[in-house]
């Protein structure tokens, strides 16, 4: 089996599958579980698939790359909103980042002033302005 990189929005998943179509279907099936029935057609349209010639990155490499992207866009001291649980509703708090984002195991995280512990970057939003 080949390894395929399936890209949607700003995320990439690596899938081992016999064909590109099978890889695309695997990712679309996972996406459809989270989508409302009328939005499911959108799951297929936004997917791009290509064969990986090199081995896929490790989860730690992916986390480090996500942290690097965050750091390029948001310097230390950026005011952010963060969610401790599900990222829905009002944020758990706001504060300025007190460190660059970094990979902590497989997770890209950042430390925020006034917040104990670190917060996963998927649960952080930079304030506008």
Tens-place pLDDT, residues 38-71: 566 665 667 788 787 777 788 898 899 999 999 9
Domain range enclosing 122: 59-126
Q: Are residues 122 and 71 in the same domain?
A: yes
Gap between the Cα atoms of 90 and 54, Å rounded: 42
Arithmetic mean of pLDDT, 15-30:
86
pTM value surpassing 0.75: no
Per-residue pLDDT for 129 more than 70? no
Q: Are residues 98 and 65 in the same domain?
A: yes
Say which residues have a Cβ less than 8 Å from residue 49's Cβ, sequence separation at least 6: 4, 5, 6, 7, 20, 23, 24
**Mean pLDDT for the chain?**
86
Domain count, the chain: 2
Q: Are residues 46 and 63 in the same domain?
A: no
């Amino acid at each position: 089996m080949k390894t395929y990189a399936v890209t949607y929005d700003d995320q990439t998943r690596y899938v081992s599958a016999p064909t590109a179509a099978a890889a695309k279907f695997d990712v679309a099936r996972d996406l459809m579980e989270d989508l409302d029935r009328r939005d499911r057609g959108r799951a297929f349209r936004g997917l791009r698939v290509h064969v990986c010639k090199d081995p896929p990155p490790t989860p730690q490499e992916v986390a480090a790359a996500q942290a690097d992207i965050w750091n390029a866009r948001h310097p230390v001291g950026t005011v952010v909103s963060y969610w401790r649980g599900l990222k829905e509703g009002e944020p758990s708090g706001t504060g300025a980042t007190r460190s660059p984002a970094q990979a902590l195991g497989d997770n890209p995280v950042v430390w925020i002033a006034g917040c104990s512990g670190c917060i996963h970057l998927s649960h952080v939003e930079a304030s506008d302005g």
